Structure 1
Amino acid sequence: MVRSAIFNKILSEINIKEQDLLLDDTSLIEQSCMMIGLLQEVLIGFKEQVHTDGFVDTSQEIEFFKEVKPVVLGKLIYYNNVYRIETTCPVRGGKLYRNYFEGQLKLLKQNNVSKLDMDFYRYYRSGRTDKDAEYFLREQVHLATVLDSFYFEMDKKYSTYYDHLVARFIAQDYTYNYLLSRIDPEIPVNFGSQDIPDDLQWTGTKNALIELIYALYISGVLSHGKIGVRKMSLIFQNLFKISLGDIHHAFHRMKDRSGKRTLFIDQLKDSLEQYMDKSL
C-alpha cells in the first residue's frame, strides 16, 4: 500500500536537491534541466506505485491528489516555464531584457489559471476541506465544470481534474515570483494586504538579514521546507520594506569570510543565552 511517509520522504529529497543546486551556484537553465528530469522520474514512480498498490483509504487518496502530486507537478510546470523563458530571453541587462520579462509577466497575468474555475480557486486558497472528496477522489469530476480538454486525455486512475489545477496554481505562483525577481530584484514584492505596522523596520545589517533567511531556508522550518529561498527573501523584503539586492551572491561572499562565517546567528545565540542567564 502507498504510505504517506514515503511521499513525504520524496518531497523532502526534492527540496534538498533544489537547495544543493542553489548553493552550488547552478545557473537557472542548468537547474531547470536537472529539476525537470528529477521531477519527471518522481511522477513516473508515483504513477507506478499508485497503479500497483493503491491507497490505504480515501483520506490518503485525497492527501495524495491534494498535497503531494500537485506539488511535484507544479514544480515541473514551473521549471519548464523557467527553462523556456531563460533559453529565449535576450542578453542579460538593458531595456530589451527588462521588456522581455515584463512581457512574460503580462502573459502570465492574462492567462491566469484561476479563470478556469474561480469557485474552486477560492475553495483551494481559503484552505477549505469540506468538498475534498468531490475534488480529489478519482472519477468524481462533473463534466459540466470541465473547461480544459486535457481532462479527457488524462489517466483517470492517476489523476483528477482538480489535482492538475492545483499544480497549475502552484506553478503560477512560482513563475510570478521568478518573473518579478528577473524584472527588478531590488523591488520588494507585495504579497497581500497584511496589517504591517508602518514603523516596522529591520535595523540590523542587510548581511545579517540574508544570513537569517538562509538559516531558516536550509533548516526547512518554514512551510515544512517547501518555500524557496527566493520567495522567502521577497517576503522578508516586503515585511521590512528593505531591498536586499542579489542575496545569492551575498551569501557566497559570506562563505568566504575569515573566522566566524555565521556572525549574526552567533550573535543571536549569545544574546539569547545572556537573557536566559539574567532571567534565572
Structure 2
Amino acid sequence: MKYCNRVVANLERKLQTLNSQTDNVFEEIELGVFHCKKALKKLRLKVITENFNSPVIESHFFKMIKPKPLGYLIFYLSLAEFELCRPQTIKKTKKYIEEQIQKYQEYFLEHKAFYQYLERNRKDRDSEYFLRSHGVVKFHPDALQYCVDENFSSSHDLIVAKIYAHKLLIQRLTTELNTLNDAKSNPREEPIPNMQWTRAKSDLIELIYALHETGAINNGNTDIKDLATLFQRTLNIDLGPYYRTYIEIRSRKIKKTKFIDLLKEKLQKKMYDADEQVK
C-alpha cells in the first residue's frame, strides 16, 4: 500500500508542476493524460501481481487510492472536450461554462445516496462498494469498467473517480467564469499601451522567477504559469518552454542571475549619476 500511495503522491506533484509551468492548455492536457495513464498502469500491475493482505486494505485502495489518478484522467479528458467545444465569444463562453457546471453537478444528484455516503466518511458499506468479489453490477454505464476489467475494478470506484473529476472541473470552470465576470464588471478605462520585450527571452524568464520567489505580486499567492502569462500578453512575447529555459539558467557556471545583476548595476549607476549632477 505504501508503494501505491507513493505512485499517487508522485503523480500529484507532477500535475501540480504541470499546471504551473504549462501555458498551452492542450499541452497541459496531453502531458496530464500521459502521467495519469502511467500511474494507473503501475497501480494495475501491482494489484494483479500481488494480492491485498486484507479486505480492509482492498476496499481502501478502490475507495481512496485508485480513484485519484482515474479522476485526474477523467478531468483532463473532459477538459479536452470542453476546450474543443469552447465558443468564440465571451458571452457564449460564459453560458457554456454555466451549462457544463450544471451538468457536472447533476452527476452528484444522480448518485445522491452514494455521494452522501462518501461525504460523511461512512465505511459500513465499503465491502459492498469496493471489494471486487462483492461488486453488485447495476444497469448503469458506470458499471462498464467493472465488467471489462474486474481484476482492477470494484463496482463503485469509477463513480468515486467521476465525482473527484467533476469537483476539479467545477473548480476550474468557476474560476474562469469569475474571471470573465470580473473583466466585464471592471472594464479598463484606458487601453494598455503597446509594449514589446526587446531583450533575450531568458532575461525575462530570469526576472519572472525572481518576482515569484520574492512574493512581489499578490503577496506571493500566484504561480509561475500566471506570471508568465501576464508578461507574455503584456509584452507581446512567446516565452516558449520557459521552465526548460529556467533549467538552463540554473546550469550557468558564471553569473546565474546575470540579467538581475545588470538591472542592479544600471540602476545604481543612474542613481550615482543623478547624485553627481546635484553636487
| Shared fold (TM-score, shorter chain, > 0.5) | yes
Matched with 1:99 is 95
Candidates 3, 9, 15, aligned match of 1:12: 9
What is the percent sequence identity of the aligned residues? 23
Greater Cα shift, 130-139 or 172-181: 130-139
Greater Cα shift, 98-107 or 30-39: 98-107
Supply the AA of the counterpart residue of 1:104. Answer: Q
Residue 250 (structure 1) shift = 8.4
Q: Tell whether the 8 Å contact from 2:32 to 2:76 is kept in structure 1 after alignment.
A: yes
SS of the aligned residue for 1:89 comes to coil
Query: Could you tell me the TM-score, scaled by structure 1's length?
Result: 0.62
Q: Is 2:171 aligned against 1:177?
A: yes
Matched with 1:63 is 60
Matched with 2:85 is 88
Q: Is 2:105 aligned against 1:127?
A: no
CA distance in 2, matches of 1:169, 1:40: 19
CA distance in 1, matches of 2:64, 2:113: 19
How many residues get paired? 201
Matched with 2:37 is 40
Residue 66 (structure 1) shift = 0.8
Q: How does 1:24-39 map to 2 (within 5 A)?
A: 24-39=21-36
Residue 98 (structure 1) shift = 2.0
Which sections of structure 2, spanning at least 5 residues, go unmatched? 183-215, 232-245, 247-256, 262-279
Q: Which structure carries more helix by proportion?
A: 2
Q: Tell whether the 8 Å contact from 1:151 to 1:161 is kept in structure 2 after alignment.
A: yes
Matched with 1:139 is 133
Matched with 1:271 is none
Supply the AA of the counterpart residue of 2:94. Answer: R
Q: How has the CA–CA distance of structure 1 residues 129 and 139 changed in structure 2, closer, same or farther, with 3 Å as cutoff?
A: same
Query: Could you tell me the TM-score, scaled by structure 2's length?
Result: 0.63
Candidates 22, 42, 53, aligned match of 2:19: 22
CA distance in 2, matches of 1:61, 1:187: 45
CA-atom RMSD in angstroms: 3.1
Residue 140 (structure 1) shift = 1.4
Runs of 4+ in structure 1 off by over 6 angstroms are 250-253
Which sections of structure 1, spanning at least 5 residues, go unmatched? 189-204, 219-246, 260-280
Q: How has the CA–CA distance of structure 1 residues 63 and 140 changed in structure 2, closer, same or farther, with 3 Å as cutoff?
A: same
Matched with 2:47 is 50
CA distance in 1, matches of 2:87, 2:127: 46
Q: Is 2:213 aligned against 1:249?
A: no
CA distance in 2, matches of 1:32, 1:90: 19
